[in-house]
Amino acid sequence: MRVLLFALVCCLMTNHTLAAAPATAVTRLVIHGGAGTLDPARSSPRIDAGYEQALAAALAAGHAVLAGGGSSVDAVVAAIAVMEDSPLFNAGRGAVFSHEGHNELDASIMDGANRAAGAVAAVRTIRNPVRAATAVMRDGVHVMLLGAGAEEFARAQGLEIVDPSWFRSEERWRQLQKARAAQRVLRDHDAGPVAAYAPDDKRGTVGAVALDRHGNLAAGTSTGGLTNKRWGRIGDSPVIGAGTWADNRTVAVSATGTGEMFIRSAAAHQVAALVGLAGMSPAQAADATLAEVAEIGGDGGLIVLDAHGDFAMRFNTRGMYRGTVGSDGRARVGIYGGEEKPVRLPALR
């Protein structure tokens, strides 16, 4: 039986994981802006429209790169940088506060053509952490840099360094005060690891996966982590294989959700393994992985894209900010469950 299983896995690997990426004129960009207990009753059409416009702006930036023949890595960076510069998302400018009142940012990127990867964690002064992660990847020596060292590296690479106040918003500051109070309550009753996640948590990590004209996949993720995080906590977003994965032979993946459980599930890599070894579609692999994350008490969402342009935007929370655009420039965005709706891409400034 074992031998048979082994033979089956080897056969599937030959068919899927070892197949070369097709050279294709098809391009695709898929993005997310975080998953959580998004509730239409606590939002408004005006607020939702603001998110939809921000998603459309990110799609426009990434699509322009792909339409111009640029690489999937550059498209991922362009789309994520727009969301990092928007105060609406928990990444870059809209990042949440740590317990000590800092904005500590994590980001990662992976190139599916050669499985090169880069990441930064707990940085406080790099305007666009995704650009720093990309610089780490292109430098090629290390994969993950932390804190002050990552900032020194980014400065040496000529990346934009900002005063920490660039990331501060009053809304996020209020969220920290609320979370601090709630955590005291939670600690009195339940000191378990899941207690760190407030039940009305609305997370806003951002991510993108792209397929370029040359058949290359890339994935990236950027976040401020969790409100009220402590002790130098780092989630899944900068962890290659947990929050981000890309491999031309299978899929590109970016995750959002309860980071600890995504790390414990090796979620992004798990999606790729299910596609490559078990022959699942991107949607099936995303659902199976989210089910595993749920089994250990986590939730969130995954965006997945393969080298043929097949993609999935799946979540087991009430909502996930998300969007996609294909080679024809037709874009769709969504926030809650159900179909994504068509959206016009704004002209680039």
Q: Which residues bind ligand ASP (CB under 6 A)?
A: 34, 90, 203, 205, 223, 225-226, 235-237, 256-257, 259, 300
13/146 with CB nearer ligand ASP: 146
Query: Which 3-state string (H, E, C) describes 119-181?
Result: EEEEECCECCHHHHHHHHHHHCCCCEEEHHHHHHHHHHCCCCECCHHHHCCHHHHHHHHHHHH
180/308 with CB nearer ligand ASP: 180
Rounded CA separation 283/265 (Å): 17
CB of 104 to ligand ASP, least distance (A): 10
CB of 262 to ligand ASP, least distance (A): 6
CB 205, CB 237: distance < 8 Å? yes
99/214 with CB nearer ligand ASP: 99
Rounded CA separation 44/22 (Å): 43
Rounded CA separation 210/240 (Å): 17
Q: How far apart are the first and last CA of the chain?
A: 60
The two three-digit tokens of residue 279, written as one number = 């022959």
CB of 11 to ligand ASP, least distance (A): 35
Q: Counting beta carbons within 10 angstroms of the beta carbon of residue 236, is it exposed (0 to 12), middle (13 to 18) or buried (19 or more)?
A: buried
Rounded CA separation 285/304 (Å): 9
β-strand partners of 18: none
71/175 with CB nearer ligand ASP: 175
203/314 with CB nearer ligand ASP: 203
CB of 31 to ligand ASP, least distance (A): 13
List active site positions.
205
The values of phi and psi at residue 284, to 5°, are -60, -45
